[in-house]
Amino acid sequence: MANPEHLKQVLNGREVWNKFRRTHPDARPDLRDANLSGYDFTHMDFSRCDLTGADLSDAYLLRANFEEADLTGANLAEADAIEANLLKAVLTRASLVMTDFSGAGLIRATLAGANLTKANLTRASLPWGNLRECTLAHADLTMADLREADLSDADLSNADLRDASLTGAVLRGVNLRDAKHLSLMHLGKTKTLFRAALDPAIREDVTRQHPHLLERPAP
């Protein structure tokens, strides 16, 4: 459960909370399982916070700072996290359905097993991220940066990958069926497509021009 004093501080609003963070720079606030649904946390500093299991659904998180925060199992469904900073944040098994992460920085973030169905990741930065087994079905990844990201066994069916960067991405076992704006140019820059589920036409192109990507990668 959340620390009652920390919960009281965060619910007092941005000025009170951010002052508390400035005056307690070494503290790691405990907001585990807190009900924060629907609140306006624009520009608030949640860096290094323990938000395990917290409910932030429908919250306003515009440009909020979640650097190195632990959001394992948290619920951010339909939250507005536009241009939020989630550098090295942990969102393992988080519910991120229809969350707006447009322009957000998720560099080296861990989203393994997270549900990002219909999430907006337009212009989001996810390089070197751990997205293993996450669900990105119907997500908007237009101009998203997925360089060197690990998407092993992820579901990107019906996702929009217009102008996304997949350079060096690991797509082992990924589901790319019916993905929109997916081209051979995208896939040719990936690290592996071993066991990937691809539409027949795309698989034929890859087999012809980049057959090594479909082979089992070296250990």
32 Cβ contact partners less than 8 Å away, ≥ 6 residues apart:
1, 2, 50, 51, 52, 53, 54
Q: How far apart are CA 128 and CA 32, in angstroms?
A: 27
- Which pLDDT value is given to residue 219? 77
What single letter denotes the amino acid at residue 172? R
Return d(Cα 108, Cα 196) in angstroms, integer: 23
Give the model's pLDDT for residue 218: 82
Domains of the chain: 1-100 (2.160.20.80), 105-219 (2.160.20.80)
For residues 90-104, give the mean pLDDT. Answer: 98
What value does the mean pLDDT of the chain take? Answer: 97
pLDDT score at 104: 98
Does residue 186 carry a pLDDT above 90?
A: no
SS3 call for 18:
helix
Q: Is the pLDDT of residue 156 over 80?
A: yes
Q: Which residues does 113 contact at the CB level (< 8 Å), separation at least 6?
A: 92, 93, 132, 133, 134
Q: What is the pLDDT of residue 92?
A: 98
- State both tokens at 216: 């089992």
- At 141, phi and psi to the nearest 5? -110, 30
Answer whether 138's CB lies under 8 Å from 119's CB: no
Mean pLDDT value across residues 203-211: 96
Please answer whether residues 85 and 66 qualify as being in contact, where contact means their C-beta atoms are separated by less than 8 angstroms. Answer: yes
Q: What is the pLDDT of residue 180?
A: 97
CA of 187: how far to CAs of 1, 37, 176, 180, in Å? 44, 39, 11, 13
Residue 188: strand, helix, or coil = coil
- What integer is the mean pLDDT of 98-122? 98
Encode pLDDT of 4-61 as tens digits.
Answer: 999 999 999 999 999 999 999 998 999 999 999 999 999 999 999 999 999 999 999 9
Q: How confident is the model at residue 1 (pLDDT cuts 50, 70, 90)?
A: confident
Q: Are 55 and 2 in contact (CB under 8 A)?
A: no
